[in-house]
Amino acid sequence: MIPYGKHYLDEVDIEAVVSVLRSGSLTQGVKVAEFEKSISEYTGSKYAVAVSSGTAALHLACIVANIGKGDTVLTTANTFVASANCILYVGAKPVFVDIDPKTLNLDIDELQKKCNASTMKAIIPVHFSGLPCDMRRIKKIADSNNLQIIEDASHALGAKYKDGSKVGNCRYSDMTVFSFHPVKGITSGEGGVITTNNNEHHQRLLQLRSHGICKGNFDIPGIGFLDNNLVKPHSAMDDGELKMWYYEMQELGYNYRITDIQSALAISQMKKIDNFLDRRRELVASYDKAFQSIDFISLTQLSWREQSSNHLYVVNIDFGKIGISRHHLMKKLADKGIGTQVHYIPVPMQPYYEQLGFSCEDYPITKNYLRFLFLCILNFQMMSNKM
């Protein structure tokens, strides 16, 4: 069976993992920091914090943005549930925005209309299938409404904004989140990263990912020297030095740590990311050529191939015209060993969100898009003869 998406691993990746297994340091060692450095250098951000998943990254970003009970956060109706769940995790309420039928990202005019409540705290734009949203316009809206921005770039490592700079540099946002699930641009098995240019955000993210604990440095509030007077000498200090064993929990954090094993794999993958992006463009170009003359297939995001990371290849199919349901078409393709998928069932249509009072009827473009949505394979198995 050819899956709709598959990671690419070579012997260099495998040896990178084996090397860590032989080193004796399996988690939270030098490879985590090395991976973070590779991400910040690649994207152009000042800081990067690696965590256990993209969902964990979204959760921590919401906490650091001080989103909480009574707040509302804008995001797209067409996304994976994690983009909205992270809002619920911190006690806030999502406000969904319908999509633009051309880009499949959130409709910025609709976004502007919905920025009308004093409870609005942030925007979480999602770069769907790797095509960046128009972040310059979104930032202008956010700035005029005093809103923070957390980019969900889970699909978009290697994508570029309209100005040519890489997604994740946080030029237009407070934080950007990436995912490294096996179907993403690179993989660490499971994993995520938050990039930011804000040092306070950076320090707090580091603390929150590991139980809210600070250890082994003078960044712990209240410890150290102030005007040559020792502060908090009762337990943390010994002869003017921070005790080697001392640590303290500053706030309620989480075990969202990533391991050295995962980070070693991701570092090795990052060295191939430009090859991965080139290969995705080749696959997309071959699909565009194959499908452009088929009258019951409409191509999507066609004008932005070079800007996108091309995480997914999405087409709209007129199932009425071909006289077969999406389900039966997928079954016929599966019988021939070809995997396909639907991305996504809109979040407001999920039973849990319906119980919260949301309805897909309120997002007509998203609902119509779902009727014809069909996700073709973008298969990394085909990379083996290209690397």
pLDDT in tens, 78-123: 999 999 999 999 999 999 999 999 999 999 999 999 998 899 999 9
Burial class (CB in 10 A: 0-12, 13-18, 19+), 258: buried
| DSSP output for 61-112 | HHHHTT--TT-EEEEESSS-THHHHHHHHTT-EEEEEPBPTTT-SB-HHHHH
Q: Averaged over 344-372, what is the pLDDT? A: 96
Residue 154's nearest CA partner among 121, 103, 120, 191 is 191
Model's pTM, two decimal places? 0.93
Higher per-residue pLDDT: 28 or 307: 307
Q: Averaged over 338-359, what is the pLDDT? A: 94
pLDDT exceeds 60 at position 342: yes
pLDDT of residue 306: 96
d(CA 253, CA 72): 22
Higher per-residue pLDDT: 77 or 216: 77
What average pLDDT does the chain have? Answer: 91
Lowest mean pLDDT among 99-103, 237-241, 350-354: 237-241
Q: Averaged over 334-362, what is the pLDDT? A: 94
Structure-token pair, residue 31? 């490879």
pLDDT of residue 144: 97
pLDDT exceeds 70 at position 233: no
pLDDT exceeds 70 at position 376: no
pLDDT exceeds 60 at position 311: yes
What CA–CA distances, in Å, run from 347 to 73, 151, 323, 365, 369? 14, 17, 28, 14, 13
Residues in the chain: 387
pLDDT of residue 248: 83
Q: Averaged over 306-310, what is the pLDDT? A: 96
Structure-token pair, residue 243? 């005790």
pLDDT of residue 387: 45
Higher per-residue pLDDT: 387 or 187: 187
pLDDT exceeds 70 at position 321: yes
Q: Which amino acid is at 30?
A: V
All domains of the chain in start order, with CATH: 11-211+253-270 (3.40.640.10), 213-249 (no CATH), 273-385 (3.90.1150.10)
Structure-token pair, residue 207? 């603390």
pLDDT of residue 229: 55
pLDDT exceeds 90 at position 63: yes
pLDDT exceeds 80 at position 51: yes
| DSSP output for 119-177 | TEEEEE-B-GGGPPP-HHHHHHHHHHTT-EEEEE-TT-TT-B-TTSPBTTS-SS-SEEE
pLDDT of residue 234: 55
Query: pLDDT for 267-281, tens place per residue?
Result: 999 999 999 999 999
Q: Cβ neighbours of residue 140 under 8 Å, at least 6 residues apart?
A: none
Higher per-residue pLDDT: 219 or 153: 153
pLDDT of residue 223: 56
pLDDT exceeds 50 at position 235: yes
pLDDT exceeds 50 at position 141: yes
pLDDT of residue 238: 77
pLDDT of residue 382: 41
Residue 177's nearest CA partner among 71, 106, 80 is 80
pLDDT exceeds 90 at position 378: no
Q: Averaged over 206-222, what is the pLDDT? A: 74
pLDDT of residue 41: 98
